Amino acid sequence: MDLKKMDASETTVTRDNGEIDAATGNIYESIGIISKRAKQISVQLKRELDEKLMEFSSNVDNLEEIFENREQIEISKYYERLPKPLAYALEEYMTGNTYHRKPGEEIEETSTK
């Protein structure tokens, strides 16, 4: 799923607790699931940003190059303007695009025999 195409809110939105805990029946479990997904998304976005910024890294520290690298600044600003990872995770959870299961639960397998 491409996060940049997802319609996550960039500002704080009031949510109904009943909608959040509808899938699990427990608000704290739902928040835990959303939190873990937000951490995964945060790592993914950080990895993407680091890969893009590595193109601009140099071994020589020249003060003029640091201030004149506009492309690097634009990439950084783009990632700063993206919605927070929690907004992405909450949007995924609310639309039913997050897979979760409790530890010890049986995984349903379909056999093709």
pTM of the model: 0.73
DSSP state at residue 79: H
Q: Is the pLDDT of residue 111 over 60?
A: no
What pLDDT is stored for residue 113 in this prediction?
43
Rounded distance between C-alpha atoms, residue 29 and residue 27, angstroms? 6
What pLDDT is stored for residue 32 in this prediction?
92
The Cβ of residue 22 has, within 10 Å, a number of other Cβ atoms equal to 11
What pLDDT is stored for residue 69 in this prediction?
74
String of DSSP letters for 7-61? ---SS-----HHHHTTTTS-HHHHHHHHHHHHHHHHHHHHHHHHHHHHTT--SS-
pLDDT for 22-78, tens place per residue?
888 889 999 999 999 999 999 999 999 888 888 877 666 666 655 667 788 888 888
Distances 5 to 1, 30, 58, 91, 108 between C-alpha atoms, Å: 8, 24, 32, 12, 31
What pLDDT is stored for residue 81 in this prediction?
86
